A = this chain, B = another copy of it.
Amino acid sequence: MKGFTQLDVSRLFSKHKSRIEEALAAYHRRDFYAAYPEMPNDPAYPADGEKTARERFNALIGKRFDDLYQKGDTQVVSAEVSPYTLEELKIGYTAFKDPKDYVEAAEHGARMLWINSTPESRVGVLAEALERIKDAFFDIAVATQHTTGQPYMMAFQASGPHAADRALEALALSYQEQTRFPNKVRWEKPMGKTTAVIEKHFRAMPRGVALAIACSTFPVWNSLPGIFASLAAGNGVIVKPHPGAILPLAICVAKIQQVLKQEGYEAEVCILAPDLPDAPIAKILCERKEVKIIDFTGGNEFGAYIESLPGKVTFTEKAGANSIVIDSTTDLKLMAQNIAFSLCLYSGQMCTAPQNIFISERGVLVGDRLASYDEVVQALVDAVKALSTHPKAGPAICGAIQSPQTLERAKNAGNFGGKLLLEAAPYTHPEFPNARTCTPAIVELSSMRSDLFYRECFGPVAFVVKTDSFEHSMALAKIAVEKTGALSASVYCTNDDRNELTMDSFAEVHTVVAFNLLGQVYMNQNAAFSDFHATGGNAAANASITDVPFVTRRFTIVEAKVAV
């Protein structure tokens, strides 16, 4: 018997084999590696990339997005609004009236050939799709900028090379895990005088239809790894973008569909399911029995709902309250600047941005000198003010605010119940005078106000919490993780013994922690091939990008035994 049907129907794997192998080696080494250069001015990218992408974006406003290869019986005219122009994009996306049609299309598409292709075939197609996505990095960047409000450079890096690196990482790992066991083996068991012989066949089998529900602030970076991991395993994938940030994912899906079609697969193996704020379809999709896998980035309530659905494999990233604990440092100014950058970057709208800064009332040792609590707080406030109001750096780092709700929250920071140290304020963006902008607010809270700091306050708001001691700070930071979850943590401390205890403390609550960041590396950043984004071990996320279960839970190993 030949065994399971696994057709080798694409020659693309051999084209990308060395890249997959390199990625796998880097993933296991965990030192620095990038398959896609992160600077837009890299020679790998066209010099006029941004310019032509902006022209294409402007021409698309109010028009139909024509690059998808999927069928539909209606059109969603999107409610996307640029946080930079405050204009509605009104882009038309092909859609189905009935959400179940997406499920049927993805399932049917996968059944046509995708499921029964070898992992090599699928991985080759998807590695090629990443190259096509690379060709669209500038389009994706502009689309990300004008839907999420990310500053342009971040939009390029996060939705472009960094997201592609993370997708490649998931792809390479999935390839390794799907081919971990032999396709066929002869099992010979000695049974006294005779030998029992069984020919055994093994294959990785996709679970069914996967659903990727994206968020409005990091639609591509947070979703692409799951999309690629699900596809690599043979699942059909429905991509359900946030109604406020459809275009960046529409471009990615179009590129994936292009390669699928070219290689003889059904394009709808990966299908975009756009919707509108007043007619959401996520729950309907989640509850279809064919949907076996759900990736989700978003709020706690919907995340908890998804995790509670019976019989689904879920990968969620929800809210968290990330902490900085300051004990001592070698350089107050560099520390303040590093923290200020983390707070200002995309106006605090990163899931890894700091929220709570715990400082002991006893002050902070700076080299040999004891800086008072007030001096340290002032240094932080000054650094945030300097950076966020800098005419050039400010706009380039802060970007714009994705939603009016986030802006309202930040504006209201003075009424939270603490002392307002720095008011949230709009700044004038040099290129986009209508931009919805906001520099960070800093609020000082009593250590008794855990009702405030044990809750995610999404957006450009930071809480400075005055504590009794370093130990008190650490206790509060750990409880914040236990109650709310966290995706990052940062500690400034020059005492190695203390740092070793601290490292173990954050490990106990399954949180990535950074020590003494003073230069150009920030607690918000997680690099593909080296950093695990979230651990899946605290309330902020039940999965990690990219640990081993992130790929292996998307397929099962199925076996057939043949007596010979």
Q: How far is the CA of A274 from the CA of B555 in the complex (A)?
A: 36
1/0 per residue A1-30: CB within 8 Å of B?
111110000000000000000000000111
CB within 8 Å of B: which of A154-209? 177, 180-182, 185-191, 194, 196, 198, 200-203, 205, 207
Do A563 and B196 touch (CB < 8 A)? no
Q: How far is the CA of A508 from the CA of B558 in the complex (A)?
A: 9
**In the complex with contacts A196-B519, A510-B558, A4-B504 CB distance below 8 A:** yes
Q: How far is the CA of A518 from the CA of B564 in the complex (A)?
A: 10
**In the complex with contacts A4-B507, A207-B537, A496-B1, A556-B547 CB distance below 8 A:** yes
At the interface, yes or no: A531 with Cβ under 8 Å from chain B?
yes
Chain B residues, Cβ within 8 Å of A30: 181-182, 185, 187, 200, 202
Q: How many copies of this chain sit in the oligomeric assembly?
A: 2
Q: How far is the CA of A194 from the CA of B181 in the complex (A)?
A: 44
1/0 per residue A213-254: CB within 8 Å of B?
000000000000000000000000000000000000000000
Chain B residues, Cβ within 8 Å of A452: none
Contact of A182 among B29, B203, B507, B535 (CB under 8 A): B29
**Contact segment of A265-273, A302-310, A387-395, A458-466:** A302-310
Do A544 and B557 touch (CB < 8 A)? yes
Q: How far is the CA of A29 from the CA of B513 in the complex (A)?
A: 39
Chain B residues, Cβ within 8 Å of A531: 200, 559, 561
Contact of A32 among B189, B527, B537 (CB under 8 A): B189
At the interface, yes or no: A552 with Cβ under 8 Å from chain B?
yes
Chain B residues, Cβ within 8 Å of A515: 1, 560-563
**In the complex with contacts A507-B558, A552-B548, A557-B544, A530-B4 CB distance below 8 A:** no
Do A510 and B205 touch (CB < 8 A)? yes
**In the complex with contacts A32-B188, A556-B535, A557-B535, A116-B513 CB distance below 8 A:** no
At the interface, yes or no: A506 with Cβ under 8 Å from chain B?
yes
Do A558 and B530 touch (CB < 8 A)? no
Do B552 and A2 touch (CB < 8 A)? no
At the interface, yes or no: A521 with Cβ under 8 Å from chain B?
yes
Chain B residues, Cβ within 8 Å of A182: 29-30
Shortest distance from the beta carbon of A324 to any chain B beta carbon, whole Å: 14
At the interface, yes or no: A337 with Cβ under 8 Å from chain B?
no
Do B558 and A535 touch (CB < 8 A)? yes
Shortest distance from the beta carbon of A210 to any chain B beta carbon, whole Å: 14
Do B560 and A512 touch (CB < 8 A)? yes
Q: How far is the CA of A515 from the CA of B3 in the complex (A)?
A: 11
Do A530 and B187 touch (CB < 8 A)? yes
Q: How large is the interface on A (under 10, 10 to 19, 20 to 34, 35 or more residues)?
A: 35 or more
1/0 per residue A113-135: CB within 8 Å of B?
00010000000000000000000
At the interface, yes or no: A500 with Cβ under 8 Å from chain B?
yes
Chain B residues, Cβ within 8 Å of A517: 561, 563
Q: How far is the CA of A527 from the CA of B185 in the complex (A)?
A: 14
At the interface, yes or no: A354 with Cβ under 8 Å from chain B?
no
At the interface, yes or no: A514 with Cβ under 8 Å from chain B?
yes
At the interface, yes or no: A415 with Cβ under 8 Å from chain B?
no
Residue of A201, A520, A560 with highest tally of chain B CB at under 10 A? A560
Contact of A562 among B32, B506, B516 (CB under 8 A): B516
Shortest distance from the beta carbon of A107 to any chain B beta carbon, whole Å: 11
At the interface, yes or no: A499 with Cβ under 8 Å from chain B?
yes
At the interface, yes or no: A31 with Cβ under 8 Å from chain B?
yes
Chain B residues, Cβ within 8 Å of A5: 500, 504
1/0 per residue A478-519: CB within 8 Å of B?
000000000000000000100110011011101111111111
Chain B residues, Cβ within 8 Å of A558: 506-507, 510-512, 535, 537
Closest residue on chain B to residue A529 by CB atoms: B187
Q: How far is the CA of A506 from the CA of B196 in the complex (A)?
A: 24
At the interface, yes or no: A385 with Cβ under 8 Å from chain B?
no
Do A189 and B556 touch (CB < 8 A)? no
Do B180 and A28 touch (CB < 8 A)? yes
Q: How far is the CA of A342 from the CA of B513 in the complex (A)?
A: 54
At the interface, yes or no: A536 with Cβ under 8 Å from chain B?
yes
**In the complex with contacts A29-B185, A188-B32, A560-B177 CB distance below 8 A:** no
At the interface, yes or no: A455 with Cβ under 8 Å from chain B?
no
Chain B residues, Cβ within 8 Å of A520: 191, 194, 196
Q: How far is the CA of A359 from the CA of B552 in the complex (A)?
A: 37
* Interchain Cβ contacts under 8 Å between A and B, 13 examples: A4-B504, A30-B185, A32-B188, A311-B539, A506-B558, A507-B560, A513-B560, A514-B563, A515-B560, A517-B561, A535-B557, A537-B558, A549-B552
Q: A196-B520, A514-B562 are known contacts; what are 7 more A-B pairs with Cβ within 8 Å?
A: A28-B180, A31-B186, A32-B189, A205-B508, A311-B539, A516-B562, A552-B552
**Closest CB pairs A-B (n = 10):** A537-B556, A535-B556, A514-B561, A507-B558, A515-B562, A548-B552, A503-B560, A516-B563, A30-B185, A512-B559
